[in-house]
Structure 1
């Protein structure tokens, strides 16, 4: 499970979020999530899936089974937006979607 711990830390860092924020997005207490990050405990399958979804990964990627290439800077930015979107209300998400659509329609 060393790869799992490392991947939890590095993914949160890549998304620019704290472990506390990753825990919140996963629907876990900070203490429980900290046990996974430190390697003191291993999540059950349902929890693993929730964490992976919150971090925009597959369970295999999180476990280090899927050795895909590192995402491009653009892909990482898109993943950051997707991950952050999971943590906001529907009303806020509607505003963000409208803003992104407006920016995408703008030609420089």
Structure 2
């Protein structure tokens, strides 16, 4: 399952986690997690859900599918990254970000 391995590497890199760190946080041995990253083995549902929790993502995202069963788009990945990043913001910061996003949308609508 090459897609899973690529997504695991990519997501861990985005978060600045090593394979060892993801494995530790998910309660897996480094060797077992390494099999998932290389595509030699597939995780069971329980392991997949623990990995998703550590990487703050969803099984669909790691498996390369969206909610409607199609391959994930780059837009969907960006929206997911924004959603995850928003978790680390204070309410004031989040409010400022929403105002900025709304202003950008309004500007684009006026520019058309």
TM-score, length of structure 2 as denominator length: 0.63
- Following superposition, the deviation at residue 78 of structure 1 comes to 2.3
> How far off its partner does 1:25 sit?
1.4
Paired residue for 2:50? 50
Q: C-alpha separation between the residues in 2 aligned to 1:79 and 1:7?
A: 21
1:15 aligns with 2:9: no
Flag as ranges the 4+ runs of structure 1 deviating above 3 A.
none
State the distance in 2 between where 1:31 and 1:38 align.
11
The aligned counterpart of 2:31 is: 31
Query: Which of 72, 75, 78 is 1:71 aligned to?
Result: 78
Unaligned segments of structure 2, at least 5 residues: 67-71, 94-112
Which blocks of at least 5 consecutive residues in structure 1 are unaligned? 82-99
Q: CA RMSD in A?
A: 2.5
Aligned to 1:90: none
Contact 2:7 2:63 in 1 (8 A): yes
Kindly indicate whether structure 1 or structure 2 has the higher relative contact order, using CA contacts under 8 Å at least 6 residues apart. 1
Structure whose CA Rg is larger: 2
